[in-house]
Amino acid sequence: MPSHKMAVIAIHGMGSQYRPQGQPASTTPTFSKGLKRRVANRIGADMSHVIWHEVVWAQILQGRQKDYLRKINRSLGYDKLREFVVCNLSDAASYRPTPDDGDKIYDAIHKKIENVMGVVKHQVGHDGPVLILAHSLGGHIMSNYIYDMQRHLRQGGSPVHPTHVENMKTVAGIVTFGCNIPIFLFAYPENEIFPIMAPNRELPPALRFTTWWHNYYDRHDVLGFPLGKSAPSYAQLAQSRALKDKPINAGKIFTSWNPFSHNGYWTDRDLYEPVAERIKDILAAV
């Protein structure tokens, strides 16, 4: 019997993410701790029906990044700025599929998601609803993970996993914030760009919400973008109301008006309130 009614999957974006030594279970919140606490305060006792997981993938690249920074520490200036470039921009540069089977980082990051979903299936059942919360590059990663599953099936392949929840067919909602998917699309002709299809096909009708993708961005955040104008196919997704772009003012007094707002979403009321409402909607429909 499932122990919970639904799962929340939080995935981080670019940069080093704090994790205590020993790599605790994915249900021990770290980077999403503040968001979970605020959401739980708004939901109350019903939060006991929600299992909250984190996908942490920074360690895949972090060791090499830090090692390189140590090597150049005494020979170059602007250490903090270089650390930002190495530990943030190189994440985006390293995460890419390649035609020569050399996309080891891409596969390794996706394996982190797969491992979490393998646990989730035991907690919410094979058809349990999932809500994805994806920050920054994490939005691109989750979109690719779902897209690859869907493309495999469109091309006549068999389901990769034995359960609908692992095959990302029970995703009741996706919340992206500070999302930079658009900057990865310029390499393709507009008519060859397609977003993921609704990942809720194996959920009952009450859980197939009209708007299943909410994207939040701050106009001061140079790494967060609206998605509806990315390509004609994304515009169609927005016109059908499946996708909704929502501008917000993320961060606190010293960050909400500048690029540091990129990390301000996690504890901002403009994000945690609608996340809590979506969780309530899912619980009410289960």
Residue pointed to by tokens 């007094």: 253
- The yes-or-no verdict on residue 252 having pLDDT over 70 is no
Helix residue spans in 125-240 (DSSP H): 137-154, 232-239
State the maximum Cα–Cα separation within the chain, in Å, rounded to a whole number.
61
pLDDT surpassing 60 at residue 257? no
Sign of CA dihedral 100, 103, 104, 110: negative
Residue 209 in contact with residue 171, Cβ under 8 Å?
no
User: 47-70, pLDDT tens digit by residue?
Assistant: 999 999 999 998 887 767 677 777
**Class of 6-285 per CATH?**
alpha beta
**pLDDT score of 7:** 98
The structure's pTM equals 0.90
List C-alpha distances in Å: 78 to 29, 69, 71.
Answer: 32, 12, 14
pLDDT at site 62: 72
The CA distance from 228 to 122, in Å, is: 35
Query: What backbone torsions phi and psi does residue 243 show, to the nearest 5 degrees?
Result: -115, 135
- pLDDT score, position 88: 65
The model's confidence at residue 80, banded by pLDDT at 50, 70 and 90, is low
Beta carbons within 8 Å of 212's beta carbon, 6+ residues apart: 171, 172, 173, 174, 198, 199, 200, 242
At residue 264, the pLDDT reads 84
pLDDT tens column, 168-223 = 999 999 999 999 999 999 888 999 999 999 999 999 999 999 999 999 999 888 88
- Tell me: pLDDT of 86 over 90: no
